């Protein structure tokens, strides 16, 4: 009996150490700024874009502005605001959005605090602050159609774009390989939900959204398991979705087909 008791105490002790370790390093895991690729502003400039810096509570953060490649909508273009995954920076996306720009859309790449050339440190609070400031800035620019601002988020970027729904009503939301909440990810790793510092509760954020939504996910995704998609669809039952056979990093299977579908979802209703 005494050996069993000591064994249980050892297991509990190891679990406490594991949980404390997670609590200490969770932001390093969620926001791996120490592993990011080297920033290269030339990728945005070479794509015909420009960089803008906006103030926030910890300094300045950066936007990459990519104008339409074709004038489809006249003086005011619809906008896609894009938030990348936690291992990327905005520069990586500049060469990858030509198709949607050819359809007449402007693309605004929003950088997170502490990523790329942006100041500060990433957290749910600071990322939400920057996403809201970026959205408000876009609304004020005369070259953009403020009635047709759509959001696209990949992986962690899904949580970044959904964080604005408490105050903004975008035209459409596109989510790629997005988790239901960081609390659910923690639970899958045997970590109590109350210890999560940056919850990104995407299910709650999506629940009251009335606009268009399109979700894609890979059924072989081990980083964000496919059950996250089921929870998001339960919150937004009229959302369109596609399931691919791929994992987290290689979803969607065909990027050309993905962008065609995105353009269909984003098209203003008057032109649908």
The mean pLDDT of 122-148, rounded to a whole number, is 98
Is the pLDDT score of 151 beyond 90? yes
Give the pLDDT confidence score for residue 24 in this predicted structure: 80
Residues 6+ apart with CB under 8 A from 80: 97, 100, 105, 106, 107, 108, 150, 151, 152, 266
What residue ranges define each of the domains in the chain, with the CATH number in brackets? 31-271 (3.40.50.1820)
Q: How confident is the model at residue 220 (pLDDT cuts 50, 70, 90)?
A: very high
Is residue 271's pLDDT more than 60? no
Q: What is the pLDDT of residues 49-97, one digit of tens each?
A: 999 999 999 999 999 999 999 999 999 999 999 999 999 999 999 999 9
pLDDT value of residue 177:
97
Q: For position 29, what pLDDT does the model report?
A: 85
Question: How much is the average pLDDT of 211-222?
Answer: 96
Report the pLDDT value the prediction gives residue 125, as an integer from 0 to 100. Answer: 97
**pLDDT (tens digit per residue) in 224-257:** 999 999 999 999 999 999 999 999 999 999 999 9
Q: Give me the long-range contacts of 181-188 (CB less than 8 A, separation at least 24).
A: 182/30, 184/228, 184/231, 185/224, 186/22, 186/26, 188/225
pLDDT per residue over 193-209, tens digit each?
888 889 999 999 999 89
Q: Please say whether the beta carbons of 246 and 252 come within 8 A.
A: yes
Give the model's pLDDT for residue 6: 65
pLDDT at 272 over 60: no
The 10s digit of each residue's pLDDT in 4-49 is: 766 666 666 676 677 777 778 788 888 999 999 999 999 999 999 9
Find out whether 114 and 122 touch, Cβ atoms under 8 Å.
yes
pLDDT mean over 154-169: 97
- Look at the pTM and tell me if it is higher than 0.85: yes
Position 191 scores a pLDDT of: 79
Q: Which two three-digit tokens encode residue 151?
A: 């959001």
3-state secondary structure the chain: CHHHHHHHHHHHHHHHHHHHHHHHHHHHHHCCHHHCCCCCCHHHHHCCCEEEEEEECCEEEEEEEECCCCCCCCCCEEEEEEECCCCCCHHHHHHHCHHHHHCCCEEEEECCCCCCCCCCCCCHHHHHHHHHHHHHHHHHCCCEEEEEEEEEEECHHHHHHHHHHHCCCCCEEEEECCCCCHHHHHHHCCCCHHHCCCCCCHHHHHHCCCCEEEEEEECCCCCCCCHHHHHHHHHCCCCEEEEECCCCCCCCCCHHHHHHHHHHHHCCHHHC
Distance in angstroms (rounded) separating the CA atoms of residues 88 and 35: 9
Q: What is the pLDDT of residue 20?
A: 78
Better-scored residue on pLDDT, 20 or 167: 167
Residue 123 to residues 28, 59, 156, 222: CA-CA distances in angstroms? 10, 14, 11, 23
């Amino acid at each position: 009996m005494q050996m069993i008791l000591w064994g249980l105490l050892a297991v509990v002790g190891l679990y406490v150490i594991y949980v404390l370790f997670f609590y200490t390093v969770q932001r390093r895991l969620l926001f791996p700024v120490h592993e990011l690729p080297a920033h290269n502003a030339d990728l945005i400039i070479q794509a015909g874009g420009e960089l803008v810096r906006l103030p926030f509570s910890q300094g300045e953060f950066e936007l990459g502005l990519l104008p339409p490649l074709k004038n489809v909508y006249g003086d005011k273009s619809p906008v896609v605001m894009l938030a990348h995954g936690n291992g990327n920076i905005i520069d990586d996306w500049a060469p990858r959005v030509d198709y949607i720009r050819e359809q007449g859309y402007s693309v605004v790449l929003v950088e997170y605090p502490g990523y790329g050339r942006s100041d500060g440190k990433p957290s749910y609070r600071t990322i939400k602050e920057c996403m809201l400031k970026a959205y408000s800035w876009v609304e004020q620019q005369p070259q953009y159609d403020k009635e047709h601002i759509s959001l696209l988020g990949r992986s962690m970027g899904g949580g970044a774009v959904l964080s604005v729904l408490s105050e903004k009503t975008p035209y459409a939301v596109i989510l790629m390989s997005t988790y239901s909440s960081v609390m659910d990810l923690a639970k899958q790793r045997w970590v109590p939900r109350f210890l999560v510092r940056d919850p990104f509760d995407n299910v709650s954020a999506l629940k009251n959204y009335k606009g268009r939504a399109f979700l894609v996910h890979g059924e072989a995704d081990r980083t964000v398991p496919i059950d996250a998609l089921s929870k998001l669809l339960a919150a937004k039952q009229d959302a369109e979705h596609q399931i691919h056979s791929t994992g987290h990093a290689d979803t969607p299977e065909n990027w050309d087909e993905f962008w065609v579908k995105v353009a269909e979802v984003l098209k203003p209703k008057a032109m649908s």
